[in-house]
Amino acid sequence: MRPNRLLASSTFRYALVYVAMFGVSMVGILAFVYWEAVAVVSGQTDETIRNEIASLAEHYQERGLGQLISVIAERSGNRFGQRGIYLLADPEYRPLAGNIDAWPTVARGEPGWVDFLIGIESAPRPSRQLARAHTFVLPGGFRLLVGRDTTERTELRSLITEALLGALALTTFLAVAGGVVMSRNLLRRIDAINRGSQAILGGDFRRRMPIRGNDDEFDQLAANLNRMLERIEQLMAGMHNVANDIAHDLRSPISRLRSRLEVTLLSPQDADTYRAALEETIRETEEILATFNAILDIALAESGALRNEFDDFDLAALIADVAEFYAPVAEEKGSTVTVDAPTPLAIRGNRHLLSQALANLIDNAVKYGGGRGPIELTLHREGTAAVLSVGDRGPGIPENLRDNALKRFVRLEVSRHTPGSGLGLALVAAVAQLHDAELRLEDNEPGLRVMLRLPVTSAAPARKAKTTSLPVARKAG
């Protein structure tokens, strides 16, 4: 991974912002701790000095200057460990007793609080250190200085400063390192997805985004992209099928049409022959249009795009409408259409495609079983399913050929002499799949019974009178 890519990544930038924010708040917290600690220590120093002064004042008041001198001498010797500073001097600032050599220059003048530098005589290594003291003028002009070495305070200050800088450096380092590691990991996963999409753009349509299996956001993104690709592939396959189907089934009838028209034109004929030729042409174009519509309906059903536009409607009403529409055609062939759909049954779906599928089933029943008995349509409810069946008394389809009969352009050998393009049952299968319905071809003993098991919606809508769109008769044959 190139370093400048890493630096330019948004994750790394977020990490830097985080470092900055964290650094500022940490400096704030440490500064607060520092000031508080220094204030406490300073307060303690002043308090100790005040106590010391009180006790010395007591000695002085009770026994006079001599006692004060001996107490100071004693304390100067014993209590250095606690860093007490004492000095008693005459009016000319000449030391009389105490543990510092000379009266500090800054402390000459008005008595009061003073900070100054001292060399401590009995320290292991004599050094100049910071001290704080209070000075007094005693009766007779003698001067007293009582104080403390404040090195502790200074040490504390530098200790806190060091801790602060150290912590800041450590945090910055950790945050930058964390940012690099984090950005690297994230970039790696995004790179994988980028590589995948580039490969797909480059023509490798079977390629899918890698999934790690820990179900994080990247996995979810990859899975969603994969689902999208799957869907696109399906739709592309659908388009491809439509193109193939058109080439397969529409080319020859159109060529046939054209050659017949040419032949008619070649030899001079009378008006009746022309009329007959034109009528034949119209009949054939109708057939071509019907096949064309069937191909488009199948493609529409297979794409699944209509799923978002399903409405709720009463399947019983739809069956009644389609049956009524087909009754005359059946009668012509010597069959009756009976409907047994007693109660309204609401389903969710596409009314046009379901009507067309039902029309195809009735069309088959009339075409292959007409004149051999009634065509029976039934609808009843089984649990959460609406079970629709179309049965006839014709020759039926042998069990081993049933799956095959559902495929596009498949026509059984026995039907060679009846007109048709073999798309009727293919549309029924596509519509069943679109509606998540189960489709079965069964033996009607004798004849064929087609069963369609659709999921019902919970509440049945009010049965609308005759508003169902009527299917267009697909074949005039």
Ligand X SMILES: Nc1ncnc2c1ncn2[C@@H]1O[C@H](COP(=O)(O)OP(=O)(O)OP(=O)(O)O)[C@@H](O)[C@H]1O
Closer to ligand X by Cβ: residue 29 or 254 = 254
Site membership for Mg ion, residue 394 (CB under 5 A): no
**Rounded Cα distance, 120 and 83, in Å:** 9
The pair of structure tokens assigned to 451 is 């069963």
Question: What pairing do the DSSP bridges indicate for beta strands 375-382 and 438-443?
Answer: unpaired
* Residue indicated by tokens 């950790």: 174
Report 386-425 residues binding ligand X (CB under 6 A): 392, 394-397, 405, 410-412, 414-415, 420-425
Contact 208, 196 (CB under 8 A): yes
Task: Assess 11 for contact with ligand X (CB under 6 A).
Answer: no
Report the residue number, 135 or 364, with the smaller CB distance to Mg ion.
364
**Residue range at the interface with Mg ion (CB under 5 A); choices 91-99, 105-113, 421-429, 461-469:** 421-429
Instruction: Tell which one of 72, 365, 375, 460 touches ligand X (CB under 6 A).
Output: 365
Count of residues engaged in binding ligand X, rule: CB under 6 A: 25
Instruction: List the interface residues with Mg ion, window 350-379 (CB under 5 A).
Output: 364
Q: Which of 104, 196, 238, 369 binds ligand X (CB under 6 A)?
A: 369
Q: Which of Mg ion, ligand X, none lies near 246, with the C-beta cut-off 5 to 8 A by kind?
A: none
Compare residues 143 and 475 and give the one whose CB is closer to Mg ion: 475
Nearer to ligand X, 344 or 395 (CB): 395
Smallest distance, Å, CB 261 to ligand X?
A: 24
Q: What are phi and psi of 196, to 5 degrees?
A: -60, -50
Q: Could you say whether residue 426 binds ligand X (CB under 6 A)?
A: yes
**Is residue 448 part of the contact set for ligand X (CB under 6 A)?**
yes
Least gap, CB of 305 to ligand X (angstroms): 23
Residue nearest to ligand X (CB): 424
Q: Which does 394 bind (CB under 5 to 8 A by kind): ligand X, Mg ion, none?
A: ligand X
User: Which residue, 303 or 364, has its beta carbon nearer to ligand X?
Assistant: 364
CB of 445 to Mg ion, least distance (A): 21
Closest CB to ligand X among 15 and 429? Answer: 429
Of 184 and 372, which has the nearer Cβ to ligand X?
A: 372
- Tell me which stretch binds Mg ion (CB under 5 A): 67-75, 168-176, 285-293, 423-431: 423-431
297 binds ligand X (CB under 6 A): no
Does residue 424 belong to the site contacting Mg ion (CB under 5 A)?
Answer: yes
Choosing among ligand X, Mg ion, none, which partner's interface includes residue 9 (Cβ < 5 to 8 Å by kind)? none
**Nearer Cβ to ligand X (149/363):** 363
To ligand X, the closest distance from the beta carbon of 445 in angstroms equals 13
Q: What are phi and psi of 215, to 5 degrees?
A: 55, 35
Would you say 370 or 424 has its CB closer to Mg ion? Answer: 424
* 18 token code pair: 């985080």
- Match 């502790």 to its residue by tokens: 152
User: What is the Cα Rg of the chain in Å?
Assistant: 52
Interface with ligand X includes 98 (CB under 6 A)? no
Nearest-CA neighbor of 196 among 206, 185, 187? 206
The residue ranges that bind ligand X (CB under 6 A) are 360, 364-365, 368-369, 392, 394-397, 405, 410-412, 414-415, 420-426, 448, 475
The residue ranges that bind Mg ion (CB under 5 A) are 364, 424
